[in-house]
Structure 1
């Protein structure tokens, strides 16, 4: 599902809301999650999961074509851990 499909489903489920309002709500939620992660915070949505940021230290990698060693700089990457309710729902419990 892409963001526009999510918005369309929410509009169908809530006919009393305008599409532009639903779109603004969805964009605001995503923006707040992004801002919190950029600030180094953790975002937890109970029953769904938790978003956090993991630190990956620098390392020496290899170019697969040439075999040449390449220094890969350190970076921060987003990480998502599913919540218990979501995991149980996916596994049919």
Structure 2
């Protein structure tokens, strides 16, 4: 299997502008606004569900004991929150169809 290409935000903006005929500047504003809105909702503890694509949410890791890399020293790792994405059924099906 060939190595996957990394697609940047600029690549997405270019492609959406090309496919829709919109100006890149306008598409970039929309993409930036969507990212800001998703981030704000996650920061407020909300889930963001994009039907046909997936759900963004904040998950919590509990505190745990770990080992400091390169040593045997035990360290306490504090609890933390992190953003997570769960793909929707339609996205999973699109990926499987292209496998």
TM-score by length of 2: 0.88
Please give the root-mean-square deviation of Cα atoms over the aligned residues, in Å. 1.2
Partner of 2:15: 9
Q: List runs of 5+ in structure 2 lacking aligned partners.
A: 1-6
- Give the C-alpha shift of residue 31 in structure 1: 0.5
TM-score by length of 1: 0.93
Q: List runs of 5+ in structure 1 lacking aligned partners.
A: none
1:57 to 47, 59, 62: 62
The ranges of structure 1 where at least 4 consecutive aligned residues each deviate by more than 3 angstroms after the TM superposition are none
* Aligned: 1:28 with 2:33: yes
